[in-house]
A and B are shown apart, each in its own frame.
Chain A
C-alpha cells in the first residue's frame, strides 16, 4: 500500500512537472548567441563588436595586406622573383583596385541601427559608438568613391521580402559628388561626438573625422578642377566626374577642415620633431608609438597579441636580416632623384661631369649629400646604416679599362687582375641582377621598416602602426587647397612647415608656388603611404605619367620635379668601386644609372583605369548600375 501511494505520488509529480506549455518548454535561449539587446547592453561588448568593424577598414597600402601593395607605380622595384610581373606587365587590368564590399556597409548600418535602439547604454557612450560607426562607414565610402566613382549610397540595412521581385532593393549609383558630399557631411555631423584627444590613435577622434573630411574635400575639388582636362572620363549621369563649378566650394571645405586641425581645436597635433638627425627623425614618425603628435588615425598592432605585421620581415635589408629574406622593396632612382637639393632646386644625382666622365666619391653617401633629409628617412642609401649595421650595397669593381668585375651571388669573391688572392667583388646586399631580396636598384626601403630587434623575424614580427592620417598631410592638403583658391602665400606658409622639418632653410615664397610644387611635395613626403595612385588619379595625371612608353635615361634625368614627367619604369643607381692601383681614384666610388634587367614592361594607365571595373555579376543583379567609362 505504502509502495502504491509512493508510486502514485511520484507519477503525479512527474506529470505536474511535464505540464508546461510546449512552446514554453522548447523556447530555450541559446547560450552561445547574444540577442541584439544583450549585445548592446554593455560598453565593453559594444566595443568588441566595433573592433571587428575597425578591422575591416580597407587601405590601399597596409602593413598587413602585403608588401607588394607598396611596390607599384615605378616608385620601386619588386625584388622578389615571383613578383616581377609588377614591372613586366604593360598595363593594369580594369579590375585593379576595385572594391564593392556592401556586406561591410550592411554590418555598419546594422550596428548603427542596433546601437541607436539600445536601451541599456549611457547616452555619452552611445553617441561615441554611433559616431565611430558613422566615421567608419564614411571612410569606407570615401575609399569606394576613390576607386569606383559614384556608388549606391546605402545608409540603412536592407531586407528582402521574398516576394520574388527584388527591384526595390536595386539602387542606382549616386553621383560622384554626392558620395563626397556624404563623406564631408558625415564628418561634420559626428565630429563633436568624437573625443578631442591627440593620444587616441587607433579609435576615431575629432581630428580623424576632420582629416578625412579635409582629404575627401580636396580630392573632390581636384577631380572637379582637373577632370576638365579629361572629358572622356565622364558619365552623363555624373556617376563619374564632378562639374568644374564645384571645385572652389570643395577647396574651401578642405582648407577649413585643415585649419580646424591646425588651430589645435581638435587636439594638440604637431609635426614630429624629436630627433636632431632629420633623416632619423623622419623615419621615426612611422616607428615611434609613444607620444607621437604627428599621427592622427592609425591601424595599430601589438606584439604577442596575435595582431602583428610582417612588413619588416619582407623588407628588411637582406644582409644581417633576421630571416633568410627581406629587401623586397627597392625604391627607384625615379623617386630618389626627385628629392630636392637644399637650395630648393631639382637636379639629377650627379654621376658624371659635363664632359661625361664619371665622378669619383670617397664615401658612398657623398653623392647624396646636400639633399632633402626625407631621402635618407624614406630610403636606405648605399653606405648608410640600418640597426647600427652598414648595409653592404655595391655592384662590383670597375677596372681602369672600363671592365666590370662582379659576382652572381651575394658577397661573391673573385681575383682582381694583378692580385693573387680573391676578394669580395659585390655587396652582401647586392645588387645582383635577378637575385631576389638584394637591392637591385641600389636602394632599400626605410619607411615603415622596423629596426626593433625581433621585428624582422617571422615568429615575432612588428607592432609599428600604419598611419592613415597624419599631420603633415593635413598641412599639405591645406597648402594645396589654399594654392588652388589663389592664396599662394598662405599655401607656401603651410608647405614651408613641412619642408623645414625636412631640413630646408630657404622658405618658399608665394611666387615659388606652382602646381608642380604641390605634386612634388606630396610625392616625396607621402611616398609609400598609399597616396600616389589616388593623387595621380584626381589630378588626371595618371595617364600622362604612366603613358606606357618606355623610358630612356634622358627621360629619367630631365624635367625632375615636373608633375607630368613620365615614370613608367623603375630605374636603379648602382655604386661601383674603382680599381686602378696607379690612379688617385683607386678605391673610390662611381655610380651608374641602370635599368634592372627584369624590367621589361612599361606602366600604362589607360583611361579605363581611372575608375575600377564593376563586376558583370553586380551589373547583372542590378541593371541600374551603369558601366564605367572607357572600359
Chain B
C-alpha cells in the first residue's frame, strides 16, 4: 500500500513538472467570411467544396485544407503571417480565377489578428428569390434561374432538384425526399416550380428543412439556395 502511494506521488510530481507551457502559442487569429457573388453568399453542399491555404517558409509545403459550410461561410484559426488562398480546379459551382497556364490563381491574405474576408467568385448561375411553402402534404419551391456566365465558357443547366430532409444538412446525399427536373424540361427559367411530397418521418417531427440545388452540366458541385425550415 505504501509503495502505491509512493508511486502515485512520483507520478503526480512528474505530471506537475511536465505541465510547462508548450513551445508555441496556439493559433489565435480567426479568418472568417463567405464565398460570394456581388455580396450574395453562394450555397454549397456540406463538406464538398474545398479551398486551400498555403504558408511558405516552414519546411514542407502542404495545404491547410477545409471546405465551405452549406451557407457558403468558412472560418479558420490561423497564426499571424502571410498566406496564399486558392480554390482548386474543379471545385465549386463557380469559376475561380486561373493563371494563363490553367492553374488556380492565388489570393494573398495577410493575417494580423482576426479578419473578415469574403471570397469573390463568379457562379455559372444564381438561384434567385427562392420561395418554399407547404401546401397540403407537399413542399413546393418556386424560384428563378439567372444565368451569370454567358460567354463562350457558359454551361447549361443539367437539372434542378428540391430536397427536403429532417436535419439542416440537405443535399443529394442527405435527404428524405427529392424532386428533380431536367434542364431540358424547364420551360421558363424565370419561374421554375418544384413540388415534393413529404414522406412519413420516423421519429415524427413537425418540421422539415428544404433547399433547392441546381446542377450545372459538366460541373460536379451544385449551387444551392439557403436552407429553409418549414413547419408542417
Within 8 A of B (CB), among A541-563: 543, 547-550
- Minimum CB–CB distance from A543 to chain B (whole Å) comes to 8
Partner of B88, one of A236, A549, A620, A627: A627
Partner of A630, one of B91, B101, B172: B91
Cβ-defined contact, B90 with A549, below 8 A: no
- Asked whether B178 is an interface residue with its Cβ less than 8 Å from the other chain, the reply is yes
Q: Contacts A232-B218, A627-B88, A631-B88 given; indicate if A91 touches B173 (C-beta within 8 A).
A: yes
- Asked whether B61 is an interface residue with its Cβ less than 8 Å from the other chain, the reply is yes
Query: Which single residue of chain A is at the shortest CB-CB distance from B46?
Result: A90
- Asked whether A607 is an interface residue with its Cβ less than 8 Å from the other chain, the reply is yes
Cβ-defined contact, A549 with B178, below 8 A: yes
Within 8 A of B (CB), among A172-201: none
Partner of A619, one of B62, B173, B174: B62
Query: Which single residue of chain B is at the shortest CB-CB distance from A547?
Result: B172
Partner of B220, one of A236, A602, A606, A617: A606
Provide the residues of chain A in CB contact with B219, threshold 8 Å: 232
Cβ-defined contact, B218 with A548, below 8 A: no
Q: Mark B66-104, 1 if CB is under 8 A from A, else 0.
A: 000000000000000000000011110000000001100
Cβ-defined contact, B90 with A232, below 8 A: yes
Q: Range of interface residues on chain A?
A: 20 to 34
Provide the residues of chain B in CB contact with A236, threshold 8 Å: 101-102
Cβ-defined contact, B220 with A607, below 8 A: yes
Cβ-defined contact, B62 with A629, below 8 A: no
CA distance A69 to B172 in the complex (A): 26
- Minimum CB–CB distance from A546 to chain B (whole Å) comes to 11
Q: Contacts A232-B218, A549-B178, A606-B220 given; indicate if A620 touches B60 (C-beta within 8 A).
A: yes
Q: Contacts A232-B220, A236-B102 given; indicate if A630 touches B62 (C-beta within 8 A).
A: no
CA distance A379 to B50 in the complex (A): 41
Q: Contacts A232-B218, A232-B220 given; indicate if A607 touches B62 (C-beta within 8 A).
A: no
Provide the residues of chain B in CB contact with A617, threshold 8 Å: 60, 62
- Asked whether B113 is an interface residue with its Cβ less than 8 Å from the other chain, the reply is no
Listed A/B pairs (25) with beta-carbon separation below 8 Å: A90-B173, A90-B174, A91-B173, A231-B218, A232-B219, A236-B101, A543-B220, A604-B172, A604-B173, A607-B90, A607-B220, A616-B60, A617-B60, A619-B62, A620-B60, A620-B61, A621-B60, A623-B61, A629-B89, A630-B88, A630-B89, A630-B90, A630-B91, A631-B88, A631-B90
Instruction: Taking A232-B90, A617-B60 as given, write out 14 further A-B residue pairs in contact, using a Cβ cutoff of 8 Å, ordered by the A residue number.
Output: A232-B219, A236-B102, A547-B172, A604-B172, A606-B48, A608-B220, A616-B63, A619-B62, A620-B60, A620-B62, A629-B89, A630-B89, A630-B90, A630-B91
Where the two chains meet, the residues of B that have a C-beta atom closer than 8 Å to any C-beta of A are: 48, 50, 60-63, 88-91, 101-102, 172-175, 178, 218-220
